[in-house]
Structure 1
Amino acid sequence: MQKQYNKKQTELNMKVGQRFPLTIKRLGIDGEGVGYFKRQVVFVRGALPGEEIVCEVTKVHRKFAEGKIRKIRKPSDQRTEAPCVYYDRCGGCQLQHLTYEGQLQEKKDIVRQAFERYTKINLDKLSFGDTVGMEDPWRYRNKSQMQVGNADDSLITGLFQTESHHLIDIEKCIVQHPKTDEVTRTVKKILEELNIPAYNERKRKGIVRTIVTRVGFETGEVQLVLVTATRDLPKADLIVQRVNQRLPFIKSIVQNVNSRKTSVIFGDETRVLDGKEKIRETLGELNFNLSAQAFFQLNPIQTRKLYDLAKEAARLTGQEKVADAYCGVGTIGLWLADGAKELRGVDVTQASIDDARINAEQLGFDHAEFETGKAEDVLPRWAKEGWKPDVLVVDPPRSGLDESLLNTIGRVKPKRLVYVSCNPSTLAKNTNELVQSGYKLDSLQPVDMFPQTAQVECVARFVLQK
Structure 2
Amino acid sequence: MEVGQVILVTIKRLGINGEGVGYYKKKVVFINGALPGEVVVAEVKKVEKNYATAELVRVKEKSTDRVKPGCPVYDQCGGCQVQHLSYPAQLRGKKEIVIESFQKYFGSDKLPEIRETVGMEHPWSYRNKAQLQVGMANGKVVTGLYAAGTHQLIDISGCPIQHPKTNEMVKTTRDVLQQLNIPIYNERKRTGVVRTVVARVGFETEGAQITLVTAVDEIPRVKELVLEMRSRLPYVQSIMQNINNKKTSLIFGEKTKTLWGKEAIDEKLGEVEFSLSPRAFFQLNPEQTIKLYNFVREAALLTGKETVVDAYCGVGTIGLWLAPDAKEVRGIEVIPDAVKNANENADRSGIANAHFFTGKAEELLPKWVKSGFRPDVVVVDPPRTGCVDKLLQTLIEIKPKRIVYVSCNPSTLAKDCRTLRKAFDVKWVQPVDMFPQTSHVECCTLLVGKGS
Equivalent-residue separation in structure 1 for 2:110 and 2:382 (angstroms): 22
2:436 maps to 1:448: no
CA contact (8 A) 2:99 2:114 kept: no
2:283 maps to 1:297: yes
Tell me by how many angstroms 1:60 deviates.
3.1
Correspondence 1:32-111 to 2 at 5 A: 32-111=19-98
1:72-109 CA distances to partner (integer Å, 9 max, x unpaired)?
11111111111110011111000000000000000000
2:331 maps to 1:345: yes
Q: Which residue of 1 aligns with 2:182?
A: 196
Equivalent-residue separation in structure 2 for 1:165 and 1:409 (angstroms): 43
Give the SS at the match of 1:428.
helix
Tell me by how many angstroms 1:163 deviates.
2.2
Equivalent-residue separation in structure 1 for 2:253 and 2:159 (angstroms): 25
Tell me by how many angstroms 1:365 deviates.
1.4
Q: Which residue of 1 aligns with 2:192?
A: 206
1:401-453 CA distances to partner (integer Å, 9 max, x unpaired)?
111111111122111000001000001100110012x1000111000000000
Equivalent-residue separation in structure 1 for 2:412 and 2:173 (angstroms): 39
Q: Which residue of 2 aligns with 1:162?
A: 148
Correspondence 1:356-435 to 2 at 5 A: 356-435=342-421
Equivalent-residue separation in structure 1 for 2:261 and 2:109 (angstroms): 54
Q: Which residue of 2 aligns with 1:320?
A: 306
Distance 1:418 1:121, change over 3 A: farther
1:257-313 CA distances to partner (integer Å, 9 max, x unpaired)?
000111110000000010000000011111110111000000000000000000000
Equivalent-residue separation in structure 1 for 2:398 and 2:150 (angstroms): 45
Q: What letter matches 2:440 in structure 1?
A: Q
Equivalent-residue separation in structure 2 for 1:339 and 1:420 (angstroms): 19
Which of 87, 91, 103 matches 1:116?
Answer: 103
2:215 maps to 1:234: no
CA contact (8 A) 2:95 2:114 kept: no
Q: Which residue of 1 aligns with 2:444?
A: 459
Tell me by how many angstroms 1:64 deviates.
2.3
Tell me by how many angstroms 1:68 deviates.
1.6
Equivalent-residue separation in structure 2 for 1:123 and 1:99 (angstroms): 31
Q: What letter matches 2:444 in structure 1?
A: V
2:2 maps to 1:14: yes
Give the SS at the match of 1:73.
strand
Distance 1:197 1:319, change over 3 A: same
Q: Which residue of 2 aligns with 1:255?
A: 241
CA contact (8 A) 1:157 1:168 kept: yes
Q: Which residue of 1 aligns with 2:268?
A: 282
CA contact (8 A) 2:185 2:191 kept: yes
Give the SS at the match of 2:76.
coil
Q: What letter matches 1:108 in structure 2?
A: K
Give the SS at the match of 1:450.
coil
Give the SS at the match of 1:116.
helix
CA contact (8 A) 2:271 2:349 kept: no
Give the SS at the match of 2:90.
helix
Equivalent-residue separation in structure 2 for 1:62 and 1:39 (angstroms): 12
Give the SS at the match of 1:353.
helix
TM-score of the two chains, using structure 2 as the length reference: 0.98
Tell me by how many angstroms 1:122 deviates.
4.0
Which of 221, 241, 265 matches 2:251?
Answer: 265
Gaps in structure 1 of 5+ consecutive residues: 1-12
Which of 201, 217, 221 matches 1:215?
Answer: 201
Equivalent-residue separation in structure 1 for 2:372 and 2:158 (angstroms): 54
Q: Which residue of 2 aligns with 1:354?
A: 340
Q: What letter matches 2:73 in structure 1?
A: Y
More displaced stretch, 18-27 vs 416-425? 18-27
Sequence identity (%): 53
Give the SS at the match of 1:88.
helix
Gaps in structure 2 of 5+ consecutive residues: none
CA contact (8 A) 1:112 1:123 kept: no
